[in-house]
Amino acid sequence: MTEKRDYYEVLGVSRNASDGDIRKAFRSLARKFHPDKNPDDSDAEKKFKEVQEAYAILSNPEEKRKYDMFGHSSPGGSPFGPGGFQGVNISLDDLFGGGFDGIFNQFFGSSRRRSTKGDDLIYRHTVPFQVAMDGSEEEIEIEALRNCKDCDGSGSKDPNNVKSCPACDGRGRVERLERLGPFTQRSVSECPSCGGMGKIISDPCDSCRGQGRSQQSKRVKFTIPAGITSGVRLRMRGYGGASRTENGPPGDLYIEIEVQRHPWFERDSSDLLMGLPVGFSDLVLGSKIELPHIDGKSLTVKIDAGSEPGDTIEIKGRGLPIQGSSRRGSVMVVLKLDMPKKLTREQKKKITSMADILGSDTEGIEDRIRQEASRRRG
Ligand SMILES: [Zn+2]
Ligand SMILES: [Zn+2]
């Protein structure tokens, strides 16, 4: 008997190859040795099984760690059970499309008794913009499947009158071996006798009709940190749906935060951007403008004399809190020229006389264009 080859060697990758590299190597080798491409070639068949086995181990983080530590002589014996690796039926199409991971993922699940985690839930929660500044304590009410209170999650009127399902030995899942050509595929599915619960209830609880779970509303309190951005998901461990199997862990609740828009600020992480439309005289002569601000103190925007539309004024330390720090971002004010849309006769007269003072004729226009170009080009 020849010695079993190293899994990394089988796939032709280094020991520190990334998951992506391992997957790529497997895909290309599995295509090369696939029985559809090598009919009646027992050597290719052996190689095909060998790369499958290597990939089954190296694509599974837990098995990979064990293999990296112990090699082929893992103390628990073969991870595939006493029969060793049986091969997986996997089509060429799956290898092209990449639909093969699921087949390998369920490989090891069946050998261990595992309770199923409850469903994860996602809940979208909208908060006013002010919360991004101050943070807040929130409370919401969610509907989720929870353990029935009347039967304590057992699903039975009398919790002592529950039998383990004989068809699946209480696992809730059954395993089947399917033979397809030279390959055997192990498939795991929900136990049809007990519907995946792993137990037989002869006298079901009235409130949950034997499910052990029912839709219940629950208040959830959580803290939103200052500086929060839209789209962030807060994870509340164990606040999701109850597990179908008794003693299985509940799922998690994800609260996705949506921060409402401010009437004028746009956000660039902790910086706040705004446009400030001002009159021509504010730009020419300079000006000070006071605005109400999200931190409760008024914000003073100081426009220097001779400012131009498009100039940006940075006001440091008055933006939003920077998460994980005591500092704050900036407010960035972009100056805009507020053009009057309609002029009264009186205004027209005054602007005409102002034009006379400032000179708006075309005299020296080329010089002005040249100066503008050289300023723009730096
Ligand atoms: Zn119940
Ligand atoms: Zn069952």
Give 213-230 pLDDT, tens digit per residue: 888 888 999 999 999 999
Task: Quote the percentage of the chain above a pLDDT of 70.
Answer: 91
Residue 187 has pLDDT above 60, yes or no: yes
pLDDT at 97: 65
Task: Quote the percentage of the chain above a pLDDT of 90.
Answer: 38
Q: Which two tokens stand for residue 132?
A: 């991004």
Q: How far apart are CA 110 and CA 97, in angstroms?
A: 25
SS3 for 69? helix
Q: Which two tokens stand for residue 163?
A: 């039998």
Helix-, strand-, coil-residue percentages of the chain, each rounded to 5 = 25, 25, 50
Q: Using alpha carbons, list the distances in angstroms from residue 335 to 82, 266, 343.
A: 76, 15, 22
CA–centroid distance, residue 188 to ligand 1 (Å):
28
Which residue from 164, 194, 167, 189 is spatially nearest to 176, judged by alpha carbons? 189
The neighbourhood of ligand 1, an ion, using CB within 5 A, equals 148, 150-151, 205, 207-208
CA–centroid distance, residue 173 to ligand 2 (Å):
6
DSSP state for residue 129 in the 8-state scheme: T
CA–centroid distance, residue 86 to ligand 2 (Å):
25
Burial class (CB in 10 A: 0-12, 13-18, 19+), 311: middle
- Structural domains of the chain ordered from first start: 7-111 (1.10.287.110), 121-161+202-259 (2.60.260.20), 266-339 (2.60.260.20), 347-378 (no CATH)
pLDDT at 112: 40
CA–centroid distance, residue 239 to ligand 1 (Å):
19
Residue 304 has pLDDT above 80, yes or no: yes
Q: Which tens digits make up the pLDDT trace of 79-123?
A: 776 667 777 777 777 777 666 766 776 566 543 444 578 888 889
Taken as a whole, the chain contains a residue count of 378
Q: Are 100 and 107 within 8 A, CB to CB?
A: no
The neighbourhood of ligand 2, an ion, using CB within 5 A, equals 165, 167-168, 191, 193-194
pLDDT at 106: 58
Question: For the residues of 240-253, what is the DSSP string, one character each?
Answer: SPPPSSTTPPP--E
Which residue from 291, 312, 289 is spatially nearest to 302, judged by alpha carbons? 289
Burial class (CB in 10 A: 0-12, 13-18, 19+), 15: exposed
pLDDT at 2: 55
Q: Which tens digits make up the pLDDT trace of 48-59?
A: 989 999 998 898
| For residues 300-325, average pLDDT | 94
CA–centroid distance, residue 171 to ligand 1 (Å):
20
Q: Rounded mean pLDDT of the chain?
A: 85
Residue 141 has pLDDT above 70, yes or no: yes
Q: How far apart are CA 369 and CA 374, in angstroms?
A: 9
| For residues 57-75, average pLDDT | 82
How many other CB atoms are there within 10 angstroms of residue 337's CB atom?
Answer: 14
Q: Which residues contact 324 (CB under 8 A, 6 or more apart)?
A: none
Ligand that lies nearest to the alpha carbon of residue 210, given by its number in the listed order: 1
Strand partners, 321: 328
Q: Are 7 and 66 within 8 A, CB to CB?
A: no
CA–centroid distance, residue 182 to ligand 2 (Å):
30
* Range with the poorest average pLDDT among 107-111, 146-150, 353-357: 107-111
pLDDT at 82: 63
pLDDT at 294: 96
Identify the residue with better confidence: 38 or 175. Answer: 38
Amino acid letter, 187: S
The H or E element spanning position 30 is: helix 19-33
Backbone angles phi, psi at 282, to 5 degrees: -60, -40
pLDDT at 75: 66
Identify the residue with better confidence: 374 or 65. Answer: 374
Most confident by average pLDDT, 62-76, 148-162, 299-313: 299-313
| For residues 19-23, average pLDDT | 90
Identify the residue with better confidence: 176 or 345. Answer: 345
Identify the residue with better confidence: 363 or 255. Answer: 255
Residue 201 has pLDDT above 60, yes or no: yes
Amino acid letter, 186: R
| CB-facing half-sphere around the CA of 251: CA atoms within 13 A | 16
Confidence of residue 361 (pLDDT cuts 50, 70, 90): low
Q: Are 191 and 175 within 8 A, CB to CB?
A: no
DSSP state for residue 204 in the 8-state scheme: B
SS3 for 224? strand
Residue 313 has pLDDT above 70, yes or no: yes
Strand partners, 124: 256
Residue 1 has pLDDT above 60, yes or no: no
Confidence of residue 353 (pLDDT cuts 50, 70, 90): confident
CA–centroid distance, residue 44 to ligand 2 (Å):
40
Tell me the longest C-alpha to C-alpha distance in the chain. 106
Confidence of residue 33 (pLDDT cuts 50, 70, 90): very high
